[in-house]
A and B are shown apart, each in its own frame.
Chain A
Amino acid sequence: MKAFAELIVELGTSTKTNEKLDALSHYFDSADDADKVWVIALFSGRRPKRVISSSFLQLWCMETANLPAWLFEECYHTVGDLGETIALLLPPPQQQLSNTSLSLIINKLVEIEKQEEAAKKEFIVNTWMQMDKDERFVFNKLLTGNFRIGVSQKTIVNALSKTVKLEPSVIAHRISGNWDPAATSFADLLGEQQQSIDYSKPYPFYLAYALQEDVSLLGDEADWQAEWKWDGIRGQLIKRNGEIFVWSRGEELMTEKFPEYHAMKELLPEGLVLDGEIIPSIESKPLPFALLQTRIGRKNITKKNLQEAPITFFSYDLLEYNGDDYREQPLYKRRELLEQIVTSMNHPALLLSPVINFSSWEQLAHIRNSSRDMGAEGIMLKRKNSTYQVGRKVGDWWKWKIDPLVIDAVMIYAQKGHGRRSNLYTDYTFAVKDGDKLVSFAKAYSGLTDKEFAEVDSFVKRNSIEKFGPVRTVKPELVFEIAFEGIAASNRHKSGVALRFPRINRWRKDKKPDEINTIEDLKKMLEVYGK
Chain B
Amino acid sequence: MQLIEFTDRGLYCRTGNFYIDPWKPVDKAIITHAHSDHARFGSTSYLCHTHTGPLLKLRLGDITVQSVEWNEKVSMNNVTVSLHPAGHIIGSSQVRVEYNGEVWVISGDYKTENDGISGMFEPVNCNTFISESTFGLPIYNWKPQTEIFENMQQWIKANQQSGKASVIIAYSLGKAQRVLKCAAAVTDKLFAHGAIWNVHQALVNAGWDLPKIERVTPEMPKDKFKQAVIIAPPSADGTSWMKKFSPYSTGICSGWMQVRGNVRRRNADAGFALSDHADWNGLLSAVKATGAEKVFVTHGFQAAFSRYLNEIGIEAAEVKTEFGGEEEEQEKPSTNEEQDKEINTADDNE
Whether chain B is bound by chain A comes out as: yes
Report 15 cross-chain contacts, Cβ distance below 8 Å, ordered by A residue.
A12-B263, A13-B263, A15-B269, A67-B138, A70-B307, A71-B304, A74-B304, A78-B137, A421-B265, A422-B260, A422-B261, A423-B330, A451-B333, A458-B329, A461-B328
Q: A71-B304, A74-B304, A458-B329 are in contact. Are A88 and B139 (CB under 8 A)?
A: yes
Contact status B139-A89, CB under 8 Å: yes
Contact status A420-B261, CB under 8 Å: yes
Q: A422-B261, A458-B333 are in contact. Are A13 and B138 (CB under 8 A)?
A: no
What would 9 more interface pairs be, CB under 8 Å, given A84-B260, A461-B329? A13-B270, A89-B138, A137-B260, A418-B261, A419-B260, A422-B259, A423-B330, A424-B261, A457-B331
Residues of A within 8 A of B138 (CB): 65, 67, 71, 75, 88-89
Contact status A422-B262, CB under 8 Å: yes
Residues of A within 8 A of B269 (CB): 13-15
Cα distance A260–B137 in the bound complex, in angstroms: 55
Cα distance A160–B181 in the bound complex, in angstroms: 42
Asked if A214 CB lies within 8 Å of chain B CBs, one says no
Residues of B within 8 A of A14 (CB): 269
Q: A13-B271, A458-B333 are in contact. Are A74 and B261 (CB under 8 A)?
A: no
Residues of A within 8 A of B141 (CB): 88
Interface residues of chain A, those whose CB is within 8 Å of chain B, are: 12-15, 65, 67-68, 70-71, 74-75, 78-81, 84-85, 88-89, 137, 418-424, 450-451, 454-455, 457-458, 461
- Taking the closest CB of chain B, its distance from the CB of A175, in whole angstroms, is 26
Which chain A residue has the least Cβ–Cβ distance from B268? Answer: A13
Residues of B within 8 A of A137 (CB): 260
Residues of A within 8 A of B329 (CB): 458, 461
Cα distance A450–B333 in the bound complex, in angstroms: 9
Cα distance A457–B329 in the bound complex, in angstroms: 9
Contact status A75-B333, CB under 8 Å: no
- Of B139, B268, B271, which is in contact with the most chain A CB atoms at under 10 Å from its CB? B139
Contact status B260-A71, CB under 8 Å: no
Interface residues of chain B, those whose CB is within 8 Å of chain A, are: 137-139, 141, 258-265, 267-271, 301, 304, 307-308, 311, 327-333
Residues of A within 8 A of B263 (CB): 12-13
Contact status B265-A424, CB under 8 Å: yes
Residues of B within 8 A of A79 (CB): 139, 259, 261
Q: A79-B261, A419-B261 are in contact. Are A458 and B268 (CB under 8 A)?
A: no
Of the residues B261, B311, B332, contact of A80 by C-beta under 8 Å:
B261
A-B contact count (CB 8 A): 85
Cα distance A424–B328 in the bound complex, in angstroms: 9
- Taking the closest CB of chain B, its distance from the CB of A527, in whole angstroms, is 41
Contact status B139-A75, CB under 8 Å: yes
Cα distance A418–B261 in the bound complex, in angstroms: 8
Residues of A within 8 A of B332 (CB): 454, 458
Contact status B333-A455, CB under 8 Å: yes
Cα distance A424–B262 in the bound complex, in angstroms: 9
Contact status B259-A84, CB under 8 Å: yes
Q: A13-B271, A14-B269, A68-B311 are in contact. Are A454 and B331 (CB under 8 A)?
A: yes
- Taking the closest CB of chain A, its distance from the CB of B199, in whole angstroms, is 26
Contact status B261-A13, CB under 8 Å: no
Contact status B264-A78, CB under 8 Å: no
Residues of A within 8 A of B270 (CB): 13
4 A-B pairs with the lowest CB-CB distances in the bound complex, closest first:
A422-B261, A420-B264, A88-B139, A461-B328
- Taking the closest CB of chain B, its distance from the CB of A132, in whole angstroms, is 11
Residues of A within 8 A of B327 (CB): 78, 423
Which chain A residue has the least Cβ–Cβ distance from B271? Answer: A13
Q: A13-B270, A15-B267, A74-B304 are in contact. Are A85 and B261 (CB under 8 A)?
A: no
Residues of A within 8 A of B308 (CB): 68, 71
- Of A84, A422, A423, which is in contact with the most chain B CB atoms at under 10 Å from its CB? A423
Cα distance A88–B270 in the bound complex, in angstroms: 18
Cα distance A88–B137 in the bound complex, in angstroms: 10
Residues of B within 8 A of A68 (CB): 308, 311
- Taking the closest CB of chain A, its distance from the CB of B247, in whole angstroms, is 11
Of the residues A70, A78, A418, A461, contact of B139 by C-beta under 8 Å:
A78
- Taking the closest CB of chain B, its distance from the CB of A85, in whole angstroms, is 7
- Of B260, B269, B327, which is in contact with the most chain A CB atoms at under 10 Å from its CB? B260
Cα distance A458–B324 in the bound complex, in angstroms: 13
Cα distance A422–B70 in the bound complex, in angstroms: 41
Q: A12-B260, A70-B307, A458-B329 are in contact. Are A450 and B139 (CB under 8 A)?
A: no
Cα distance A88–B267 in the bound complex, in angstroms: 21
Residues of B within 8 A of A89 (CB): 138-139
Cα distance A67–B308 in the bound complex, in angstroms: 9
Contact status B264-A419, CB under 8 Å: yes
- Taking the closest CB of chain A, its distance from the CB of B325, in whole angstroms, is 14
Residues of A within 8 A of B258 (CB): 88
Cα distance A89–B140 in the bound complex, in angstroms: 8
Cα distance A75–B148 in the bound complex, in angstroms: 23
Residues of A within 8 A of B304 (CB): 71, 74
- Of B307, B328, B330, which is in contact with the most chain A CB atoms at under 10 Å from its CB? B328
